A and B are shown apart, each in its own frame.
Chain A
Amino acid sequence: DAGITQSPRHKVTETGTPVTLRCHQTENHRYMYWYRQDPGHGLRLIHYSYGVKDTDKGEVSDGYSVSRSKTEDFLLTLESATSSQTSVYFCAISDYRTDTDTQYFGPGTRLTVL
């Protein structure tokens, strides 16, 4: 998985609790992305980062925040988890310079909000 790890790999939590997912890379890639994958929706971009402390919103950013204080780590936080945020979350990295660049994905985190 191209030097990308995600933690935790599985998490069950209750509605209203805060949750933080971590993505860690050893590739020194500039760009990092958080996606969620749901049946019938494919992959949807939540937030992405184009450098330390530089982040931007994706298609489904409501209810999520991110932080990137180091090149290698990108955190996704659900401030107050809801059942609609039950999903599989994937982190991806890219050394985007042109639109021919590919993305490399982590193994995913399965989050269940009860």
Chain B
Amino acid sequence: SQQGEEDPQALSIQEGENATMNCSYKTSINNLQWYRQNSGRGLVHLILIRSNEREKHSGRLRVTLDTSKKSSSLLITASRAADTASYFCATYQGGSEKLVFGKGTKLTVNP
């Protein structure tokens, strides 16, 4: 079953604009991860936020986590055409070694 569900499914913006993607999950988590997938490639880890953190930054990425709402958001600031990719949130299911992925948001950044 899908633990995380991203919203929107697809997002198209212009270069220089900010892109925001949301992820909702169902069960309690210890941390949440975001991955990126360029077309035709494997997923690449972007950032991890722990359950006791509310916000985390990495370069142009900003991730927030609201455990009361069971949701997270990924913000990419000043987007570039190279940011065009699909973005997935993922969490480990309750103590297991299985990482469960959402269905992803497909981001298109138009030059």
Question: Do residues B101 and A100 form an inter-chain contact, with CB atoms below 8 A?
Answer: no
Given known A-B contacts A45-B100, A48-B97, A100-B50, A106 and B1 have beta carbons under 8 A apart: no
List residues 19-59 of chain B with CB under 8 A from any CB of chain A: 30-31, 33, 40-45, 48, 50
The docked-state distance in angstroms from the alpha carbon of A59 to that of B98 is 10
A42, B99: Cβ atoms closer than 8 Å: no
Smallest CB-CB A-B distances: 9 pairs: A105-B42, A42-B103, A99-B92, A102-B45, A43-B101, A105-B43, A96-B97, A99-B30, A42-B101
Assign chain B's interface to a size class: 20 to 34
B12 interface residue (CB < 8 Å to A): no
Q: How far is the CA of A59 from the CA of B30 in the complex (A)?
A: 21
Docked CA distance A15–B102 (Å)? 30
